[in-house]
Amino acid sequence: MRKVILCLCMAMAIGLLAACGGGASDNNGQAQQTQQESANAEVGGAQAAPGGEQPANAEPDGINWDEHVTFTWWLIPPPPNDFYNTMNDNAVINYLEHRFNVTFEFEEPVIGTEGDALALLMGTGRYTDVIHLGVYPGSITQLYDDGIIVDVAEWLDYMPNLQNIINTEPETAQGIFDDNGRILTLPELAVGTGYPWAGFLYRHDILETMTDGNVQFPSGNDVPTTIADWEYMLPLFLAYFEAAGFAEYAPLIIPFNGTFHWGDLKSGFGASHTFYVRDGVVHNGITEPAMFEYVSTMRDWFERGWIHQDFASRTTDMFFMPNPPLVFGGAAGVFYGMSMHLGDRLSMPDFDMYVDVRPISSPMAEGITHRDMLRRKEDVYAATRGSAVTTGNPDIGRFLAVMDHMYHPV
Which amino acid makes up residue 73? Answer: W
Q: Which residue range is the domain that position 161 belongs to?
A: 8-194+380-407
* Residue with more model confidence, 138 or 51: 138
For the segment 57-105, what is each residue's pLDDT rounded down to a tens digit?
456 677 888 999 999 999 987 766 667 778 888 888 999 999 999 999 9
For residue 400, is it within any domain?
A: yes
Q: CB–CB of 241/211 below 8 Å?
A: no
DSSP state of 96: H
For residue 190, is it within any domain?
A: yes
* Whether residue 279 sits in one domain with residue 154: no
pLDDT at 338 over 60: yes
In the chain, the number of structural domains is 2
* Whether residue 181 sits in one domain with residue 41: yes
DSSP secondary structure string for all residues of 25-79: -S-HHHHHHHHHHHHHHHTTSPPPPGGGPPPSS-PPSS--TTS-EEEEEE-PPPP
DSSP state of 110: P
Q: CB–CB of 123/67 below 8 Å?
A: no
* Whether residue 181 sits in one domain with residue 37: yes
For residue 3, is it within any domain?
A: no
For residue 2, is it within any domain?
A: no
How much is the pLDDT for 57?
47
How much is the pLDDT for 40?
41
* Whether residue 270 sits in one domain with residue 148: no
DSSP state of 307: B
Rounded to an integer, the average pLDDT of 321-345 is: 87
* Whether residue 389 sits in one domain with residue 321: no
Nearest 5°: the CA angle 270, 254, 243 is 120
* Whether residue 217 sits in one domain with residue 119: no
Q: How far apart are CA 387 and CA 342, in angstroms?
A: 30
How much is the pLDDT for 369?
66
CATH number, residue 176? 3.40.190.10
Q: Is the pTM of this model over 0.85?
A: no
Q: How far apart are CA 241 and CA 288, in angstroms?
A: 36
Q: CB–CB of 158/59 below 8 Å?
A: no
* Whether residue 166 sits in one domain with residue 45: yes
Q: Which region among 210-224, 290-304, 327-341 has the lowest average model confidence (pLDDT)?
A: 327-341
Taking each helix axis from N to C end, the angle separating 160-168 and 396-404, rounded to the nearest 10 degrees, works out to 60
* Whether residue 203 sits in one domain with residue 189: no
For residue 128, is it within any domain?
A: yes
Q: How far apart are CA 134 and CA 384, in angstroms?
A: 8
Q: How far is CA 278 from CA 43, 118, 146, 232, 267, in A?
A: 37, 38, 41, 32, 14
DSSP state of 369: -
Q: Which of 260, 210, 199 is nearest to 232 (CA)?
A: 210
